[in-house]
Each structure stands twice: as structure tokens, then as C-alpha cells.
Structure 1
Amino acid sequence: MAAANSYFVPGYGISRAVIQNEIHYYCGPDSIVRPYVHQGRDGFLVTTSGPPLTKAQIEDLKISSQEYEEKQSRIANESNVFVNQPVAVHQRMRRV
């Protein structure tokens, strides 16, 4: 088994749900992706023993992410979900 390599993928235009679902298709079944910040930029840390993502694959992830976000938006609009709706949170009182 080859050694695992880790590398940073900038997250601009890439949905977390999409990259986590599709990383196995592009880089192999042992691939792992997690949110990561590199030099102040948000993105993803990909760890895999398979081939790294190519520029074309990253562009495919961006296209899939846009389609995913549009679909999620349509679902929210159809079900009349207000995204910024306040949510009640019960807080415990501190003991002094």
C-alpha cells in the first residue's frame, strides 16, 4: 500500500457535502477530506494514497457544488423554510 499524501484544496466554490461525497470517486476509497485553513484561506485537506485531484476534477467539483447548492435552495423555497429563522436555545443557569 502506498504512503498517504496530504494536500490543500482551496474551498472557494466547493461545497463540503459534494467534496466529501465525491472524493472517493476521484482519489480512491481510502481518501479522506476535512475542512482546513491554510495561510488564512478556507478549504479542504485531502489525504489519500491515490492520485491527487487534477484541475479538471476541481472544476467538476465546483460545477457539482453549484448544482447541489441550487437544488438545496429550491428545496428550501418549496418547503417555505426561512433560513435565518431564530431557534430557541435553552441555557442553563450558572452555579455561583
Structure 2
Amino acid sequence: MRSLANFPMQANGSEMLRVAVIKAHELEVEICATVHDALLIQAPLNLIDKAALDTQQAMEEASELILKGFSLKTDTEFVKWPDRYFDERGAGMWSKIMKLLP
């Protein structure tokens, strides 16, 4: 029953992300991947702030379109080489996988 009730939320979230990708592409944002409910983008350091703002704009416009005027808030996280993205919630699994690798 829970998955039936959750379906409209997941479907709308998926559609918002699809529209956001299209809008970000139209703004010439270089999209590397979708990650659940987010976009992973890349840009030269001198253009990354604009690319991030364009991506946020695309995501907000997508939410307004799908949610009939309601705009979802977005946030950004910057990761610059040689660092990598790291989510504390996945630290345990990351450690297990790294131990299994040769």
C-alpha cells in the first residue's frame, strides 16, 4: 500500500528531473549524470558558479512546470579535484566495498 501511495511522488520527481535535464542542456550546462534527485555537472573553474546557478534555475523551473507553479528549493555542493564527493551516510558501505577490492 505504501508503494502505491508513493508512486505519484516518485513519478513527479522523475518527471521534474527529466525536464530539468532538458532545461539545463538548453542553458549549455555540461551534465555528467543524474543522481537520484540531483544533477552532477562539470565546468571549468571560472564558469562553475554560472553553471551551478543555471542548473538551479533549470531545476526550479522544472518544479514550477510539473507542480503547477510551486517552486522547490535547491542547494549546491561543490567538489573540486583532487577531492571527491563523499556522503557520510554511505561511509560504512564504502569501507566494505574498498576492503573487497584487490
Larger gyration radius, structure 1 or structure 2: 1
Q: Under a length normalisation based on structure 2, what TM-score does the superposition of the two structures give?
A: 0.33
Higher helix share: 2
Name whichever structure is richer in strand by fraction. Answer: 1
Q: What TM-score do you get using the length of structure 1 for normalisation?
A: 0.34
